Structure 1
Amino acid sequence: MKFNHEEEDNLSLTRYESMLRSNDVKFFDSNEFESIIHHYLENGKIAKAKKAISLSLSQHPSSVNLKLLQVEVLVFEDRLEKADTLLAQLHAIEPENEEIYIQKANILSKQNKHKEAIDLLFMALSYTSNEADVFSLLGMEYLFMDDFENAKINFMKCLEADGEDYSALYNIIYCFDFLEQHEEAIEYLNRFLDKNPYCEVAWHQIGKQYYDLGMFKKALAAFDFAIISDEYFIGAYLEKGKVLEKLKRYNEAIENYRITLELDDPTSFALLRIGKCFEKLGSDDLAIQHYSKTVHEDPLLDKGWIAITDFYMRKRNYQKALYYINKAISIDSENVLYWKRYAKINNRLAFFEEAETGYQKAIELGNYELDTWLNRSDILRFLGESNAAIINLKQAIEFYPDNAEIHYRLAGMYYETQELSKGESHLRKALRLDREYTIVLEELFETVYNLSLVKNIISEYQ
């Protein structure tokens, strides 16, 4: 009875693990140990891999391949000096073993010596029979150096050597995207598809390029070809749904998103997009139903909570909007997008103290948008906290030193607090920046605007 290679590996692993349970030491040849160690490393079982390496070297103390696996584990554990010493010994034994150069390059890479790592990988190329792996490693080293052109070239060579290495294809497109070379990416993918017409990954990637360029009909055709190549390709259905949304073909988009729910467990993204489509179609009940499913499926997805909150805000149902944004904040109180909405909703409901808290929290979390500063200052002034409002606006000026709206507000505040020289200074600055924005002073600070000394200053800039 003959066994294939995979079955032999499984038998070796079963026999090895049986030996461990019985504490009865058995002999394994070096190839068996290699497959056992590889199994543990691929599955992240480092402790078991180390034990297997120790046993293997006790039975095969001169095996270079087993010692290279030991080096791999040492590098993983950042025991680089010991790994380097062992590699030097192995190099003296087998100076033409490409794995020695690869592992040495891995050490140098961990030490951020990427140019030196690249030199060693080029040496490995002259000895290896598996060029694809080495080209892939070269591509990664160039990526570490932000050299996207050379990274792209080496990933392309990797794909030429192994036409089914889709990770290389993804990396090539990543480089094109970073370099904003969308048209060049399309040309490359078309050449690749001429040789590999049923490569669903390539069709998917070319569709994304067309989508980014706003060429939606071509994108749609590409995603259709990806689905023809692999009818279970969830990513292609999702991207096709996005294109159909852009084309306002919402019912068709829903159909594609629903296919993904049938092919795999429901994803919050698909549920959210279905909800958006139903909302566009005016089916409010179905929209809310899917938004609710979205946040149930993934409570940490802020887009879900924002969708359901914004839905009720558009309907001017601020009580329900507040209910959902409060739920969102209870799950993630550090999300600035939630606090912005919390502030806006409370403002609409005339809960000004809560609104001010929302804007303050948004600023504390790093939201320095102009409207956040302005809205907070207006609310603080309304609450009678003029000094706090002035401090808030002075902070805003650090980010927007030449914004007329801020200066008009500060002018109004200072005139109200009888600090006339400061008021005049900010008024003149505001007028120099934008004469038309005196409407801010007129609407928010009517009493100040009607002062004769203010009118006189404004008249100087007409």
Structure 2
Amino acid sequence: MHLDHEEEEYNLSLSKFESMLKTNKVLFFDSEEFEEIILHYLDIGKATLAKKALKLALEQHPKSTGLKLVQVEMLVYDEKLDQAEKLLNELYFIEPTNEEIFIQKANIYSKRDDHSKAVEHLQIALKYTEDYADVYNLIGMEYLFMDNLELAKENFIKCLEEDFEDQSALYNVVYCFEFLDQNLQAIEYLKTYIDRNPYSEIAWHQCGRLYYGVKDYENAVRSFEFATYIDDEFIGAYMENGKALERLKRYDEAIESYNKTIELDDPTSYALLRIGKCHEKLGHKAEALKYFNKTVHEDPLLDKGWIAITDYYVRQKNYKKGLFYVNKALAIDDQNCLYWKRFATINKALDNFEEAEFGYRKAVEYGDYQLDTWLFWVDMMMQMDEFNNAILTLIQAAEYFPEEYEVEYRLAGFHLMLNEEEKGTFHLSNGLRLNFKHTTIIQKLFPMVWERPSVQEYIAKHKKSE
């Protein structure tokens, strides 16, 4: 009731002020009313109204330190840092133990990227403040700006010791633990936090995320479930729980968890995709396909949706259907390397070597530099007797994979096919040095080269020298 009364008074003050602006009548407000009005307009981004309120406030209360500190905030908001600092120095002589003066000085130093000085002033503010949580939180943020995650973490923990319901500090302390790769320590910290605040759905959710990160999926599920018991509309917890249940191969329960997110809000393409994946794992092929189609309908730009449909048909060896869907995907985004690679793989399965070669080339062009993509591309060139192009492509691949026997053996094979003995022998030597056991690459891809007595002699000679 007390809060309702305060809110009612606050709303009356705002209405009274806005009415005054319309009628041009000058009404009286106490300094605290003015502070709330000004900060309200600043919070909602109405700086012009905030400045009008400040001007009237200072006319009615010229000696109010609180209003002058609000004026400092306005000056900082307008990036007038020197003026703000000058006013703060004047206020310091009047009230040298006012913590807000040091907090605002810290804010100015922070704006100037002098975060060490900002911390110094916040440490002074700690001596005079009664709101320790707020100051510790600010110190933590300054250490974050300095990339000193250990000290940031320490101050966010101190903040939570003062006010364990400060959710931003809770998120920040978990961020620090994760950034420092201290997931297990973070879990231990959250356990102690939960002992003090067992009904914090945020803490349970963060705990679940951390357990998931260390692959303890059973405890992840337990934590996410606690989060949803506390807040039965916590969409993020239901979504994360679905992921953890999938890892445990509890696909029916995962589907339930994903469905809960759809009940609570509009369906997301991610939830629909995961439901489809779960149905596929359960062998419900028709249901899986239905949800994959819903996924691309919900978000045609989500590549994972199109890939799921394409891969579904490829697994069924229905390559024509797979090609149909990957072509639909390419019509929407023809610069997606994942689409091009599938386009190439399907055409390869259909013995459409020219289309496959084109697909692998496009996949590399749009950023797929995986070794297998280069090798599949080269193997397609071989099918088309494009030996010189294959060599040029392998030389490119060697820039990304300089010590790769699969590249070297292929270079050896192509050069020897072209009777370029010196180059062929050089790359054959490299291949044998990198991985002698896989001479079968030459045998399988270049049988005519393999059967040459000179090649067999070279391989035998290398074997003896090992």
Q: TM-score, normalised by structure 1?
A: 0.89
Alpha-carbon distance change, 63 to 318 in structure 1, aligned in 2, over 3 angstroms: farther
Deviation at 1:134, TM superposition (A): 1.4
Partners of 2:320 and 2:353 lie apart in 1 by 15
Amino acid at match of 2:303: D
Which residue is equivalent to 1:305?
306
1:330-409 alignment, distance < 5 Å: 330-409=331-410
Which residue is equivalent to 2:5?
4
- The alignment status of 1:241 with 2:242, answered yes or no, reads yes
Deviation at 1:404, TM superposition (A): 0.5
String of CA shifts for 1:179-232, please: whole Å, max 9, x gaps: 332332222222222222222222222223333333333333323322222222
Which residue is equivalent to 1:268?
269
Which deviates the most, 95-104 or 192-201? 95-104
Alpha-carbon distance change, 282 to 124 in structure 1, aligned in 2, over 3 angstroms: same
Partners of 2:432 and 2:352 lie apart in 1 by 33
- The alignment status of 1:145 with 2:141, answered yes or no, reads no
- The alignment status of 1:30 with 2:14, answered yes or no, reads no
1:247-266 alignment, distance < 5 Å: 247-266=248-267
1:180-219 alignment, distance < 5 Å: 180-219=181-220
Alpha-carbon distance change, 410 to 152 in structure 1, aligned in 2, over 3 angstroms: same
Partners of 2:419 and 2:23 lie apart in 1 by 91
Deviation at 1:437, TM superposition (A): 1.8
Amino acid at match of 1:261: I
Amino acid at match of 1:115: S
Alpha-carbon distance change, 335 to 44 in structure 1, aligned in 2, over 3 angstroms: farther
Alpha-carbon distance change, 415 to 62 in structure 1, aligned in 2, over 3 angstroms: farther
Alpha-carbon distance change, 49 to 441 in structure 1, aligned in 2, over 3 angstroms: farther
String of CA shifts for 1:100-136, please: whole Å, max 9, x gaps: 3223323333433222222122122122221111111
Partners of 1:154 and 1:435 lie apart in 2 by 57
1:36-185 alignment, distance < 5 Å: 36-46=37-47, 48-54=49-55, 56-57=57-58, 60-76=61-77, 78-185=79-186
Alpha-carbon distance change, 441 to 60 in structure 1, aligned in 2, over 3 angstroms: farther
- The alignment status of 1:224 with 2:217, answered yes or no, reads no
Amino acid at match of 1:215: D
Deviation at 1:334, TM superposition (A): 4.5
Partners of 1:215 and 1:405 lie apart in 2 by 37
Deviation at 1:74, TM superposition (A): 4.5
Partners of 1:42 and 1:137 lie apart in 2 by 18
Which residue is equivalent to 2:455?
454
Alpha-carbon distance change, 42 to 453 in structure 1, aligned in 2, over 3 angstroms: same
Deviation at 1:373, TM superposition (A): 1.7
Amino acid at match of 1:230: D
Deviation at 1:446, TM superposition (A): 2.2
Partners of 1:111 and 1:410 lie apart in 2 by 57
Which residue is equivalent to 1:410?
411
RMSD of aligned C-alpha atoms? 2.8
Deviation at 1:286, TM superposition (A): 1.6
Partners of 1:117 and 1:61 lie apart in 2 by 28
Partners of 1:176 and 1:113 lie apart in 2 by 25
Specify the SS of the correspondent of 1:429.
helix
String of CA shifts for 1:152-195, please: whole Å, max 9, x gaps: 11111111111211221122222222233233222222222222
Deviation at 1:300, TM superposition (A): 3.6
Deviation at 1:302, TM superposition (A): 3.1
String of CA shifts for 1:308-330, please: whole Å, max 9, x gaps: 23222222233333333344444
> Sequence identity, in percent?
56
Alpha-carbon distance change, 97 to 218 in structure 1, aligned in 2, over 3 angstroms: same
Partners of 2:91 and 2:331 lie apart in 1 by 58
1:319-334 alignment, distance < 5 Å: 319-334=320-335
Partners of 2:57 and 2:335 lie apart in 1 by 51
Deviation at 1:430, TM superposition (A): 0.8
Which residue is equivalent to 2:292?
291
Partners of 1:23 and 1:134 lie apart in 2 by 40
Specify the SS of the correspondent of 2:16.
helix
Partners of 2:452 and 2:165 lie apart in 1 by 77
How many residues matched?
A: 462
Partners of 1:383 and 1:93 lie apart in 2 by 87
Alpha-carbon distance change, 74 to 346 in structure 1, aligned in 2, over 3 angstroms: farther
Deviation at 1:357, TM superposition (A): 3.8
Alpha-carbon distance change, 342 to 10 in structure 1, aligned in 2, over 3 angstroms: farther
Which deviates the most, 299-308 or 82-91? 82-91
String of CA shifts for 1:390-441, please: whole Å, max 9, x gaps: 2221122122111111011111222233332111111111111111222222
Alpha-carbon distance change, 48 to 427 in structure 1, aligned in 2, over 3 angstroms: farther
Partners of 1:128 and 1:57 lie apart in 2 by 25
Specify the SS of the correspondent of 2:462.
coil
Specify the SS of the correspondent of 1:123.
helix
Amino acid at match of 1:388: N
Partners of 1:140 and 1:348 lie apart in 2 by 55
Partners of 2:251 and 2:36 lie apart in 1 by 51
Alpha-carbon distance change, 376 to 96 in structure 1, aligned in 2, over 3 angstroms: farther
Partners of 1:353 and 1:19 lie apart in 2 by 78
Alpha-carbon distance change, 206 to 451 in structure 1, aligned in 2, over 3 angstroms: same
Which deviates the most, 41-50 or 156-165? 41-50
Which residue is equivalent to 1:280?
281
Partners of 1:53 and 1:333 lie apart in 2 by 56
Deviation at 1:56, TM superposition (A): 4.3
Which deviates the most, 306-315 or 132-141? 306-315
Partners of 2:96 and 2:154 lie apart in 1 by 28
Partners of 1:19 and 1:32 lie apart in 2 by 14
Partners of 1:356 and 1:82 lie apart in 2 by 66
Specify the SS of the correspondent of 2:367.
coil
